[in-house]
Amino acid sequence: MAKKSQATWGGRFTAGPADLMLQFSESVSFDRRLAPFDVAGSKAHSAMLARAGLITAKERDAIHAGLDAILAEIEAGKFHWDTKLEDVHMNIEAALTKSVPAAAKLHTARSRNDQVATDMRLFFKHACAVLREKILGAQRALLAVAVVNRDVLIPGYTHLQRAQPVYLAHHLFAWLEMLERDRSRLGDVATHANWCPLGVGAIAGTTLPIDREFTAKALGFVDAKGRPQVTQNSMDTVADRDLFIEFAAACATFGVHLSRMAEDLILWTSAEFRFVDLPDEFCTGSSLMPQKKNSDSCELLRGKSARLQGNLHTLLTLVKGLPLTYNRDLQEDKPPVFDSFDQAALCADVLAGTVAGLTVRRDRCAAAVSDPTLLATDLADYLVMKGVPFREAHHAVGAVVRLAETNAVALDQLPTEEVHKVHPAIGPDWTEVFDLSRALAKRTGTGMPGPKQLARQFNRWKRLLK
């Protein structure tokens, strides 16, 4: 026999939901973490109702006190969550109603559709601030490595082939740029989140005399001048999930960056490179091979990026083709968002921890960067300065490189007469090109790895990451 519905929406029902349906449709197991935002929303909403004369000041105060008590209970882990009540919103409202009779008026001029949209916008503002701070922590750890290894040179790679020499710090600063864009993207998401949905009701607002701007102000949905920002279309407000996608995209992009940094670090720790050693605290061993020290934190950072991309994909697919406005499908929007937040936060901390314990093998870096072919392009530039067209210079240097290879000597050890035969513009001063510090010093333009620019970037990052 079907049970009579006890749900808040049970008035028009003669039978309550089947146990299987309850198990299938509940979201409180994952949306309970929205409780602080839900309580804040309900406090602002009831304050607005009192101002509009829809509840009394006394009722408002009772609701506020009751909500504070419930939140304290939740935070102490003493609150009883009931899946029969579906979600965080109804759990809190039901608990409040038990102790505060006026709570029966709390849902006046409100729907769970605008309520959940509000909770999530508050969540996004919080989540973006947390992630920005954590990424900043990772950036600071990277800057510290750059500072102590300021003078270390390594080969820069294209196609994973040695290309040109760069300061290690220049490579690390490339990572800082990537992370800075992640921080900026998350800042944009927070800005986009800063519009208050509350008051649009289920889809078409309310006939009651509410004040949406008041609620928006109370919840901090304001512009730089403190003016309230409220969403402008009731239907779009309850249907819109762009922020979820934007947030997940920002996390996925961060994940892609993490995976690239992790991959560089994994390569750099291999015996073939050995540019760096990772801290034992962030590595693990093999259960079989006693000698192994695996860079698991980096491999997991690389792996987690798949998960962050998957979450974005889930959200895009969830919303695609969905008719306006709210559909229950949208309840599935939260697990991927929460997962992206949790994993991205963890990743930022792990990156910071891994980098903080990183040691640079100066001898290995110096050996790798001493490869004179890294300065073949500089030799072409040398010819250009002597009036040789670049294409011709490029070709001539190619022939010099081939000559060194055939004779099995280092590029800079070829006899000048031989080299001169390849191109007459190559004079006795040609070996100066292979002086590394001279080569770096010549790279003076903005964004280049020369020491002058590097000093500027050190100052810039120290200022930005203060």
**What's the min distance (Å) between Cβ of 110 and ligand ARG?**
11
In sign, the C-alpha dihedral spanning 113, 118, 119, 124 is positive
Regarding 87 and contact with ligand ARG (CB under 6 A), the answer is yes
**Residues between 121 and 180 with contacts to ligand ARG, criterion CB under 6 A:** none
HSE (side-chain half, CA atoms, 13 Å) at 193: 26
113 binds ligand ARG (CB under 6 A): yes
Residues 28-57, one symbol each (x = binds ligand ARG by CB under 6 A, - = not), give ---x--------------------------
Nearer to ligand ARG, 91 or 149 (CB): 91
Query: Of 273-281, 327-335, 368-376, 406-414, which part binds ligand ARG (CB under 6 A)?
Result: 327-335
Q: Minimum Å distance from CB 42 to ligand ARG? A: 14
C-beta of 87 vs 378, nearer to ligand ARG = 87
Cβ proximity to ligand ARG, 116 vs 252, nearer residue:
116
**Cα 91 off chain centre by:** 32
Q: What is the 3-state secondary structure (H, E, C) of 11-68?
A: HHCCCCCCHHHHHHHCCHHHHHHHHHHHHHHHHHHHHHHHHCCCCCHHHHHHHHHHHH
- Contacting residue, 330, 365, 374, 422, with ligand ARG by CB under 6 A: 330
* Piece of the chain touching ligand ARG by CB under 6 A; list 109-117, 216-224, 309-317, 343-351: 109-117
Annotate 342-361 with three-state secondary structure.
HHHHHHHHHHHHHHHCCEEC
- Site membership for ligand ARG, residue 114 (CB under 6 A): no
Nearest CA to 97 out of 54, 67, 138 is that of 67
Q: Identify whether 395 is a catalytic site residue.
A: no
Taking Cα atoms as reference points, which of 25, 58, 63, 73 lies closest to residue 41?
63
Amino acid occupying residue 331: Q
The distance of closest approach from Cβ of residue 288 to ligand ARG in the complex, given in angstroms and rounded to an integer, is 47
Q: End-to-end distance of the chain based on CA atoms, in angstroms? A: 66
Closest CA to 83 of 11, 27, 128, 147: 27
Nearest-approach distance from CB 263 to ligand ARG, in angstroms? 37
Residue that is written with structure tokens 């506020």 in the block: 64
- The span of 111-119, 128-136, 164-172, 362-370 binding ligand ARG (CB under 6 A) equals 111-119
**Nearer residue to ligand ARG within complex by CB, 118 or 164:** 118
Half-sphere exposure of 286 (CA within 13 A, CB side): 7
Would you count residue 26 as binding ligand ARG (CB under 6 A)?
no
Residue 27 in contact with ligand ARG, rule: CB under 6 A: yes
Q: Is 118 a binder of ligand ARG (CB under 6 A)?
A: no
Q: How far is the CB of 328 from ligand ARG (least distance, A)?
A: 6
The catalytic position among 29, 184, 270, 286 is 286
286 catalytically annotated: yes
Rg (CA), the chain: 31
Q: If binding is defined by CB under 6 A, does position 116 make contact with ligand ARG? A: yes
CA dihedral (207, 213, 217, 220) in degrees, to 10, reads 80
Cα–Cα distance measured from residue 185 to residue 253, given in angstroms and rounded to the nearest whole number: 9
**Residue among 159, 171, 257, 394 flagged as catalytic:** 159
30 vs 157, which CB is nearer to ligand ARG? 30
CB of 336 to ligand ARG, least distance (A): 13
- 103 scored as a contact of ligand ARG (CB under 6 A): no
Q: Which is nearer to ligand ARG, 331 or 457 (CB)?
A: 331
> How distant is the alpha carbon of residue 331 from its chain centre?
23
Nearer to ligand ARG, 38 or 264 (CB): 38
CA distance 118 to 112: 9
Q: Which tokens belong to 153?
A: 């040179």
Structure-token match 């903005």, residue found: 446
Binding of residue 112 to ligand ARG (CB under 6 A): yes
Residues forming the active site: 159, 286
Chain residues binding ligand ARG by CB under 6 A are 27, 31, 87, 112-113, 116, 326, 328, 330-331
